[in-house]
Amino acid sequence: MFDFIRRSMMARLAALVRLAALGAVAILTSGAQSSCSVGDPSQIPQPRDESGDGPTFTTTLVLKDAAGVAKNTFQAGDLITFELSVRNRTTQPVELDFRSGQQYDFFAFTSGSTDLVWLWSSTALFTQAESTLTFAAGETRVFSVTWAQGNRGSYEARGVVLFDGLETNRQAPHQLGSTLVPFTIN
C-alpha cells in the first residue's frame, strides 16, 4: 500500500517537473526574449538631485536595434530591444512585493493615444506565487525584452516595474514607470 502511494506521489512530482520544463520552453520560444541584470551604473543617466529629496526610484527606457545601438527609428521587421533601467536612489535597500512572478512589463502604444499595440506580458508565462524584488542601496537593475514587430507607423513605448494602479491606466505617471518614448517604424 505504501509503495503504491509513494509511486503515485513520484508520478505526480515527475508530471510537475515536466510541466515546469514545458513552461520554461514556452517562455523561451514565445516570440519575445527577456532578461534582467544588475546594470553598470556608469551607463545609466544619473539624477541631478542626490540630496535624498524626490522619488525613491529613477526609471528610464531606451530602445535599441539588433546591434545594441540606441535609436528611435526602425525598419519594418527589425528587432527592437526595450531596455528599462530602474535605480534605487536611496542609501537603504528597498523591497518591492508582487502578487505573482511578474515584476515588470513593456508596452507599445499608437502615438498620441492609449491604443495598445503590443503588451510584452501577453507573450510570457508567470508563476502565480507571490514574488519580491529587492534593490540594494544605489542599485540599478536593467530589464530588457525584444519585440519582433512588423507594422509601420508612429508609436510610443513604456517600460515599468509593476505598481498599484497600472492595470487601470498603463500610462499613469509613476516613479517605477518610464516616460513615453516616441519611436517610428518605417
Return per-residue pLDDT of the chain as tens, 186 residues: 545 444 544 555 444 444 444 343 333 333 444 444 444 333 333 333 444 567 999 999 999 999 999 999 999 999 999 999 999 999 999 999 999 999 999 999 999 999 999 999 999 999 999 999 999 999 999 999 999 987 899 999 999 999 999 999 999 999 999 999 999 999
Cβ proximity of 101 and 128 under 8 Å: yes
In this structure, what C-alpha cell is assigned to residue 80? 527592437
> Rounded distance, CA 149 to CA 120, Å?
12
Read off the pTM. 0.73
Query: What pLDDT is recorded for position 151?
Result: 85
Query: What pLDDT is recorded for position 54?
Result: 79
SS3 21: helix
CA 164 to chain CA centroid, Å, is 16
